[in-house]
Structure 1
Amino acid sequence: MKEYTLDIGGIGYGCVEAGSGPLLLLCHGTFGGRQLMLPQLEWLSRSFRCVAFDWRGHGGSGYDPAGWTADDLVEDVATIIAALGERSAIIAGVSQGGAIGMRVALRYPEKVEALINMCGGPGAPPPAAIERISGFARIFAEERDEAVRRAAAIEFATGYFHAPDFIAHQQQRFAEEIDVILSHPRESVGLLPCVPASYVDITPRLGEIACPTLIVWASHEARLTLGSELAAAIPEARLVIIQDAGHHVNVDAPEATTAAIETFLRAVGQARTG
């Protein structure tokens, strides 16, 4: 496993890479980080060149003080693929990562070999959710007391990211996620809500996604029926519901999520060679 930084249009993207084979990009959600994708990277790197990265403003990546949008991240992903010396990639993303992956597949269909969307919606979150995200970002950016910031992160992640009993059963995993959230630069966190607020609803265009697609949804996702709606709208998309998991489905249930991705990618590979 190696770590490095890619210069993507003047923004440094912190990456971790393992394995060889077809390129598989692992994309985290808002307030997450590349570390949260490591269970998938470590297992899937047996068959793929896996690269997990921090989005702009997260962890080891830089950012534009003027802010950025979902469209900027779509362009970043296309540039990352080229910077890694590849013409195309498989994109697997959770939440924001899945939302951006769908948009890359629409704007640059030739660059997306297959798409795995884990709990990423086609449009902006509802206003109440945007306000909740923005409120947490403000506390994180403005509060000087580390204990207060940690308490806010715990409250936000508990209510927004996980199944009801996740923390009780996975205390160490939850603590590691909170550490990831608190590792982000305070100067950039206040800008992170600009991406979910910038989404233009792509629901009318979902039928244009032409690559093999897997929708991984969680049984405790707040938008419970959206996964099946996405799968019905995207041609020949497959749907897997992960039980006892919440919005951060790959954190709540890393083994089941990774197994679903591996099964899907194996079937895609067999279809192409068969």
Structure 2
Amino acid sequence: MPLSHKIVGSGPGLLLAHGATGNVEGNFPFLDELAADHTVVAADYPGSGATPRADGPLRLDDLADDLVATAVDAGVETFAILGYSMGTAVAIRAATRHPRRVSALVLTAGLTHPDRHLRLTLDLWQRLRETGDHFALSRFLLLNGLTPASLDAVEPWEETVAQAAHGQAPGADDHLALLRTVDVRADLPGIGVPTLVVATARDTLVPPHNSRRIAEGIAGARLVEIDAGHLIADERPGEWLAAVRDFLSGVAAAPRGAA
């Protein structure tokens, strides 16, 4: 399925894989900074941004293929992938299915599969969506997305609560359904490109043990932890960007074949 996208910058390719219910600009607020060093391909999944919802259920293989095809069709034939949340699974599957295209991975606040903690979270998330109680859903998302200190600093509070639930993508239900089916545990041993795993150390939505599992499963993966909740782009965008740019600059400078 064609994905709505934009391409910015110049240099080595960098493909972005955003999270469930979000969009590429919301999850990656530093596109201009990334574009200073890379040709950034920023695409939205079906039901996000300007990409229409899919006709049927989303499949991880299809989403990974569509994301890769977006970059290749735009003339960016090889690229690193920066994945966030569910986008880490998309990135891992893309690297598995298209190993000649993917040169490196940065996997942030990610998961290999929905464990019991995440399934319970998804159950409540979906139930709140079904009730139509937007204020309850907003409170749930803010409580699980931000650390207590960040919650205390949010202003104006009532306006933020009112907007939080309405900010979810039109295809949010499709994304949450896909998230229940994701399982990339078997993919990890086959990943052979340089990989940085960024754990959100105070995350209660996708807790950091999920990122540690990813790092343990990929040979040679580097793990860093940032003191943030799941919404790292809101809480620690500068630290996240610095970690990403430092890693990718090292990959670019490494001799061919070096990890």
The TM tier, using the shorter chain, reads 0.7 to 0.9
In structure 2, the partner of 1:213 is 195
Secondary structure of residue in 1 paired with 2:199: strand
Aligned counterparts, 1:4-19, within 5 A: 9=1, 11=2, 13-19=3-9
1:260 is aligned to 2:252? no
In structure 2, the partner of 1:130 is 122
Aligned counterparts, 1:202-241, within 5 A: 202-222=184-204, 223-241=207-225
Secondary structure of residue in 2 paired with 1:24: strand
Secondary structure of residue in 1 paired with 2:148: coil
The answer to whether the 8 Å contact 1:209/1:235 transfers is yes
Letter in 1 for 2:191: I
- Cα deviation for residue 229 of structure 1 reads 2.8
Aligned counterparts, 1:71-220, within 5 A: 71-126=61-116, 127-139=119-131, 143=132, 148-149=133-134, 151-171=135-155, 179=163, 182-183=166-167, 186=170, 188-200=171-183, 202-220=184-202
In 2, Cα distance between equivalents of 1:61 and 1:114: 26
- Cα deviation for residue 180 of structure 1 reads 7.6
Residues 180/272 of structure 1: CA separation in 2 closer, same or farther (3 Å cut): farther
Cα deviation per residue 1:163-198 (whole Å; 9 max; x = unaligned)? 222232354799789858625565x33322221012
Residues 179/21 of structure 1: CA separation in 2 closer, same or farther (3 Å cut): farther
1:251 is aligned to 2:243? no
Secondary structure of residue in 1 paired with 2:193: coil
- Cα deviation for residue 227 of structure 1 reads 2.3
The answer to whether the 8 Å contact 1:57/1:184 transfers is no
Q: Which runs of 5+ in 1 are unaligned?
A: 1-8
The answer to whether the 8 Å contact 2:13/2:79 transfers is yes
TM-score (norm 1): 0.82
Secondary structure of residue in 2 paired with 1:220: coil
Residues 191/225 of structure 1: CA separation in 2 closer, same or farther (3 Å cut): closer
Letter in 1 for 2:48: H
- Cα deviation for residue 68 of structure 1 reads 1.3
TM-score (norm 2): 0.86
1:36 alignment partner, one of 26, 38, 43: 26
- Cα deviation for residue 160 of structure 1 reads 2.5
The answer to whether the 8 Å contact 2:93/2:187 transfers is no
Shift >4 Å, 4+ stretches: 172-181, 183-186
In 1, Cα distance between equivalents of 2:14 and 2:161: 22
In structure 1, the partner of 2:60 is 70
In 2, Cα distance between equivalents of 1:125 and 1:58: 25
In 1, Cα distance between equivalents of 2:42 and 2:162: 18
In structure 2, the partner of 1:3 is none
- Cα deviation for residue 228 of structure 1 reads 2.6
- After TM superposition, the structure 1 stretch with the greater mean CA deviation from structure 2, 261-270 or 166-175, is 166-175
Percentage of matched positions with identical amino acids? 25
In 2, Cα distance between equivalents of 1:122 and 1:46: 31
